[in-house]
Structure 1
Amino acid sequence: MTKKIFIFTRYSVLLKTKAWALSKDNDFDQYREKLFSSERMQQHSFFFKELTIPSILYQKNIPESVDFYYIVLTSKHLPNEERIKLESTLSELQRSKIIYIEPEEDLYDVINNFISKEVKVGEIFASIRLDDDDALHPKFIASVSKYMERSFVGHVISHSRGYATLFDFDQQAFISAISINYPKNAQGMAFINSRINEDKYFTDQVNVYEIGNHTIVDKFYPLIIDETINGYIRMCYKNQDTAEKFYIKNSAKNNNVAINRIAKKFPLNLLKSEML
């Protein structure tokens, strides 16, 4: 029976919730204005097109028994010009889907409804989370495929090794990069599940977002740390407070890496341009 892997990306999802950091200190209208600000949309659409989507397109060595799908969750209120850009960016990617969500909808329900339509009774599936400005190693899906077995159902998979890069958006250039080993990281975290019958899954939590805070996931689920590949690139922006602080903090205890070395493992045009 076919095994299925779903990669989910939240792309400027406007929800009436305080769950997202951007919304915590704003009323809904202010939150919406910030979320869809031209500066923020420009940055995210740039990395999404030049880094995230190419990393999905370049996946290789996927077993024939595994189908993988890429799903973008975004807002029905996404500005029209951004909607056009988003649909154009995904046009070359097979088995991709954009789901437009109303602010009043429950994100988990939307994801689970999609999974319920795609997964048959008895099938094993994995859900993977990926931010709209990060990238996955070309063998990432192949690596997750190793765990698409009954014995791993209910497990969380964390590819802890990867890279963090500091990018100056004004200069359109990478400033520096470091190698990191961050178990329970959000980038590419996967959750293995299976459908028992029409109404029941192996765990009550169907998708990877439902399993809660990724930093304490091992308190609730068996966790596998996979260090076989440098599984991801985590983007950090210069002058973006939280991300730059993460980079500076981790720079003190991790090795610097040349961008051209990363480009050999991640065949992405945005990285190759740094080699010229």
Structure 2
Amino acid sequence: MMDDGLTKVDSNTANSTNRKRRFTRVPLRYVLPNLVTLLGLCLGLTAIRYAIEARFDLAVYAIAGAAVLDGLDGRLARALDSTSRFGAELDSLADFIDFGVAPAMILYMWSLNDIKSAGWFAAMVYAIACALRLARFNVAIDDPNKPSWAARFFVGMPSPAGAIVVLLPIYLTHSFFGLPQTRPTTVVIIAYVLLIAFLMVSRIPHLSGKEMGRVPRDYFIVVLFGVAVAILLLYSFPMEVLASLSILYLVHVPFAYRRYKALQRQDAENLDVEAEG
């Protein structure tokens, strides 16, 4: 009988411990970054809805908003010291919807369906390239052999930048540039989408912009003024600003490649000097 009593006490204690573990409270600082990620996911899904309704300007704005939130959630997690494996997986899944599926659907419903088979092929290739790009990024995070300077670069075009840049034809059509929507133009757009897909899966380095987190005190007012002007321009001429940013990003790629190769050569030279010494 005493053994039975002890067994019941042990069982009650175990159940109490399990209940405590089950209802363990999660600090708010872990919730906020994931909430921002979910808001970005909502924008990506809303962009697909706007594309179905042929409201392509609003679809573009939703993708741009998702890209902004994608840049914020990681910084917020690092600032709050709340990075987690769950957050990383959620961010990757949301990125595939926001920057892989949504832009592909927007482009197909906007223009690529004029040449249905080729247009759908280009849309699928872009979405697949985004998935592969995200998978490679997740694996590369755990690479211990990367030099410290490599953190300044992304290997291949990052998915948020790819989503913004691949929508360049829409910006040009809905801006004062007035790109015409014709069948020959659709062929060019298909080739352009395939080019962006290639840049995403390639190993061509792109600047990461992670070093832009802090502003020198002497330039704070200048940077603040520049940000205010940029916001006003984006509000007044959204398509023109997005088109300009996309073109500038594409122009920067050769310079990023040259900078990456220069640092790679410098690193190799330093290793040779150490070996000789």
Would the TM-score normalized by the shorter structure come out above 0.5?
A: no
Q: Which has the higher strand share?
A: 1
**What is the TM-score normalised by the length of structure 1?**
0.26
**What is the TM-score normalised by the length of structure 2?**
0.26
By relative contact order (CA 8 Å, sep 6+), the higher-ranking structure is 1
Greater gyration radius: 2
Q: Which has the higher helix share?
A: 2
